[in-house]
Amino acid sequence: MKTLAFFLSLARPDRWWLRLGAVLAILTLLAGIGLLSLSGWFITAAAIAGAAGLGRSFNYLFASGGVRGFAMGRTLGRYAERLATHEATFRILARLRLWVFDRAAPLVPARLGGLRAGDLLSRVTGDVDALDGLYLRLVTPALSALFGALAATLVLLFAAPAAVLPVIGLFVLSGLVLPLLAAKAGQPAGETIALSAADTRSEAADLIAGMAELKAYGAEGAVLSRLDAASESWISGQRRLAGLALINTALLAFAGPASFIAGFLSAAATGASAPLAALAGFIAFGLFEAAAPLVMAGEQYGRTLSSARRLKMLDDLRPALEEPESPITLPDAHDIALHGVSFTYPGTARPALSDVSLSLPMGGRLALVGASGSGKSSIIRLLMGFYAPDKGQVTLGGADLTGLGPAQMRTRLSLVDQRADLLSTTVRANLLLARPDASEADLWQALEQARAADFVRALPEGLLTWIGEEGRLVSGGQARRIALARAFLKNAPVMLLDEPTEGLDSQTEAEFLDALDAWLEADARRSVLIVTHRPALLDRAREVVVMENGAVVQTGSPAALSGEEGAFRRLFGKRV
C-alpha cells in the first residue's frame, strides 16, 4: 500500500479536479438512490391510494417532481463527473509520464543498462496506463460508496430502522469484502498481465529492431517463440482475470435483488407501511451501484500494484553521479583533467580504467588511441557524467565534477559518437535538441558548418523532412553530419568525438574533418578530445594519449610517438 500511496501523492497538483470528480460522483450516486427509492415509494403509494379510492387526494405532483429532479440530476451529474474525473486522470497520467522520464534520464546508462528498451517503453506506456485504475476506479468510487452508505443509513434510520442492519450488512459484503477477495484472487493474474505485457513488448521491440540480422542468420524463429510464449502468458492472465470478473458479476447480480428483498422484508416485518418498505428495498438496490466499481478495482488491484512497483523502482534507483544540492559556480575556464581516475563498470570484475591521469587544456587537441576495450570510451562516459569514478577526480576548470554536477558539466561539452543517435522525427527537431531556442538562421548556419546544408536542402521537405526510425532514411555519413551540426549548434567550447568517422568512406570522412577544422579555427579557445583508431584523425591532434588495458602507457605528439617503440607504433606503424 505504501507504493500506491506514493503515486497518490503525485496527484496532489490535480487534487481539486479529483475532489470535484469525487463530489460529483457522490451527488450522482445519491441522485440514483433517490431516483430508485422515491420511484419505488411513489409507485407503491400511488397503487395503494388508487386501490383504496384515495387517488384524487394523493399528491402526485410532489413525488413526480422529485423523480424528474433526481433523474435529471443523475444524468447531468454522471456527465459532469465523467468530465471531471477523466480530466483529472489524463492530467495525472501526462504528469506521471514526465515523472518517469525525469526519473529515468539521470539513470541512463549506468543504472538502466540492464533494462531492455522494450521493458522501459512498457513502463512509460503500459504501466503508466495501468495506474489510471488507481485514480479513476479506486479513489473516487471508494469515497462515493462511503458517502452513499452514510446517506442510506440516515434515511433508513428515519424511514425503516429495522432495514439498516441487513441493507448495510449486505452492502459491506458486496462493497468491501467482495473487492478484498477479488483483489486477493486477482493479484497473481494481474501481476502476470503486467510482467507478460512488458515481456511481449520487449520481445516485439527486439524482433523489429534486429529483423535484418535475425533473418540473415535464420534466428527469427527463436525470438518469435519467446514472443509467442510471452503473449500466451499475457492472454492467460487476462483469461483468468476475465473468469474472476464473470464470477464477481454474477455475485453482484444476485446481491442487488437480494438486498432489495432483505430491505423490503425487514422493514415490512417490523410494521412499516408498504410504501416505506418499498423505499427501504429500493435504497438497498440503488446503493449497490457503488459496489460494482469497487469490485472492478479489486480485480485490477494486482495489475495496478505490479505496475506501480515497476515504476517505483525507477524512483528507488540513484544515479551513478547525482546532482549536488548546492552546486558550485561553473568556472569560466573549460580545461579538463582526470587525476588518478579508476573505474569499474557495475557488474564486472575487470577495471575499465586504472589510475588514469590526463589533461585537455583550453584550445587543446587531444587524441585517445588504443585497442578496443582499452578504456577510451569510458573516459568519454565519465566526462559526460554517465558514470562516477570509483577513485580519483574529474575536473572542469579546476572544479571537481561531483561539486559541479553532470548538468553543469554538460553545458561545456558536446558529444558526437559513431552511432550518431537521431530521433524518429524531423531534421529540424533533431537539431533543436541542442538549443531549443535556435532560430532558422542558426540551424542553417550549423548545417553549413557541418557541410550538411546542401543535402538537407535536397531533402523532400528540407528541415521538416522526417528522417525515419533512428535516422534510417538518411545515410550514415549524412546522419553523422547532422549530429555534428547539432554539436555546432550547441556551441559548447569542448567537443568530444568518439570514433566519429567510423564506417565512413574517405571522402565523407574528409568533409567531416574539414568541418571540424573550420569550427576549431574559428575560436582558439575551443578544444577537442578525439577517441579514434583512424590515422586521418591523428592529424588534428597535438597530443596523443595511448591506452592499454585501462591504463595510460604513452603520451606525446603523433610525430614523437611514431618514432618510439611501443603501443602507438604497433597501432599505426611508423608515420612519416
CA angle 443, 487, 388 (to 5 degrees): 145
CA 81/CA 21 separation, integer angstroms: 5
Does 336-572 carry CATH code 3.40.50.300? yes
Give residue-wise pLDDT tens across range 19-44: 888 889 889 888 888 888 888 777 77
CA 565 from centre of chain: 53
* Residue 568: strand, helix, or coil: helix
pLDDT value at residue 51: 67
Question: Which range among 233-237, 374-378, 480-484 shows the weakest confidence by mean pLDDT?
Answer: 480-484
Reply yes or no on whether the pLDDT at 192 is more than 50: yes
Confidence bin at 576 (pLDDT 50/70/90): very low
Q: Is the dihedral of CA 239, 241, 245, 251 positive or negative?
A: positive
Mean pLDDT of 500-508: 78
CA 199/CA 231 separation, integer angstroms: 8
First to last CA, the chain: 71
| Residue type at 500 in one-letter notation | P
Taking alpha carbons only, the member of 330, 368, 374 closest to residue 352 is 374
Backbone angles phi, psi at 393, to 5 degrees: -130, 145
CA 280/CA 42 separation, integer angstroms: 13
Whether the Cβ atoms of residue 361 and residue 396 lie closer than 8 Å to each other: no
Domain assignments of the chain as residue spans, ordered by start? 2-316, 336-572
Cell of 295: 469490485
Please provide the size of the chain in residues. 576
Confidence bin at 472 (pLDDT 50/70/90): confident
What order do you get walking across the sheet with 399-400 strand by strand? 353-360, 336-343, 391-396, 399-400
CA 113/CA 136 separation, integer angstroms: 34
Q: What residues contact 36, with CB distance under 8 A and at least 6 apart?
A: 282, 283, 285, 286
Burial class (CB in 10 A: 0-12, 13-18, 19+), 325: exposed
Taking alpha carbons only, the member of 31, 174, 196, 69 closest to residue 130 is 196
Percent of the chain with pLDDT over 70: 96
CA angle 27, 30, 34 (to 5 degrees): 135
Which one of 161-170, 354-363, 498-507 scores highest in mean pLDDT? Answer: 354-363
Strand pairing class (527-531; 365-370): parallel
Give residue-wise pLDDT tens across range 253-271: 888 888 888 888 888 888 7
What order do you get walking across the sheet with 494-498 strand by strand? 413-417, 494-498, 527-531, 365-370, 543-548, 551-556
Confidence bin at 60 (pLDDT 50/70/90): low
Q: What residues contact 97, with CB distance under 8 A and at least 6 apart?
A: 124, 128
Cell of 96: 506521471
CA 315/CA 104 separation, integer angstroms: 8
| Residue type at 438 in one-letter notation | A
Reply yes or no on whether the pLDDT at 574 is more than 70: no
Residue burial 82-116, b: 16+ Cβ < 10 Å; e: rest: eebbeebbebbbeebeebbeebbebbeebbbeebb
CA 83/CA 347 separation, integer angstroms: 49
Omega cis (within 30) before 109: yes
Cell of 527: 578544444
Count other Cβ atoms within 10 Å, centred on residue 347: 7
Give residue-wise pLDDT tens across range 207-252: 777 777 777 788 788 888 888 998 999 999 999 999 998 998 888 8
Confidence bin at 79 (pLDDT 50/70/90): very high
- The domain 2-316 is placed in CATH, from the list 3.40.50.10420, 1.10.1060.10, 1.20.1560.10, 3.40.30.10, at 1.20.1560.10
CA 460/CA 439 separation, integer angstroms: 21
